[in-house]
Amino acid sequence: MSTMLLFPGQGAQAVGMGRELAEGLDECRALFARAGEVLGFDLLKLCAEGPIEELTKSDVAQPAIFAVSRAARAALAHFAGDKLQVAGAAGHSLGEWAALHEAGVVSFEDALRVLRARGRFMQEACEATPGGMLTIIGLPLDKVQEVAQASGLEVANLNSPVQTVLSGHADRIAAGETAAKAAGAKRALRLTVAGAFHSSLMRPAADRLAEFLQDVEFRPPAFPVWSNVTGKPHGEPADIRRRMVDQVVSSVRWTDGVGDMVAAGMTAGCECGPGTVLAGLVKRIASDVPIASIFDLAGAQEAAKLFS
């Protein structure tokens, strides 16, 4: 079985995430301890107990989701053993860093430091220029692009054939809602986010991230990791570094990436981390590909059955 590992992005955070994994498996508890040492605070306690207001801050949420995703991956390894052969990986926005770590491109410690900084840079960009995001359901991409142009917004996430997210100035979100409904969208939903992620408003964050990444080592991937920016596998380390900067201001081409993974021969997938959002999106992109969601011990045990 050719398996892809998928890692979620910001918005998946929830109080209690990772607690059962850490309580049930020594290797998961050790991961949280290592993460806490790097970050300088008790990450497991924050994930387990909150408060949600602290856990939702971008500079906390991003490394926290990464750590929980890695703990979920460790749980899968515990139950599946060497029966699991990873053929490729991808992550949604910050989740792409977990995918890169899975393939050996960046270290665990470097990924945590990057995501702490990335979250801070993005939060500060949000505070400098108020922005928002709008999920549009039930419109084809060409129509969504027309809505974006008409309302002054940008395409941020191409999540599935029926779900696209727009991003931009806060005062343009209402125009986007109106244009989407006029174009025949089934729904147009404002997202509860700090700002206009994956848009040109994040350029200050991208520029600061580029400088930060100069001191981070990137190694060749052990297996293909699909890029959010291109929807295709990453190339050499220098190219990966550039793409991960571009990713902050570019559309997340999730639909293209999953489609390309399936075309490359992926026959099953495991979503490692809090929530089940990615599994739901994959079902809309490639309904015949089984996807297991792993965020607790039961999920890891059930996913391991795919490889028995």
Residues in the chain: 308
Q: How far apart are the C-alpha atoms of 305 and 308, rounded to whole Å?
A: 5
Among 137, 10, 14, residue whose Cα is nearest residue 63: 10
Q: How far apart are the C-alpha atoms of 93 and 9, rounded to whole Å?
A: 5
Place of tokens 């395409």: 155
Which phi and psi angles does 237 have, rounded to 5°?
Answer: -50, -45
Q: Are 241 and 213 in contact (CB under 8 A)?
A: yes
Which phi and psi angles does 252 have, rounded to 5°?
Answer: -85, 110
How many C-beta neighbours within 10 Å does residue 86 have? 18
Residue numbers annotated as active site: 93, 198
Place of tokens 């045990």: 301
Q: What is the CA radius of gyration of the chain?
A: 18
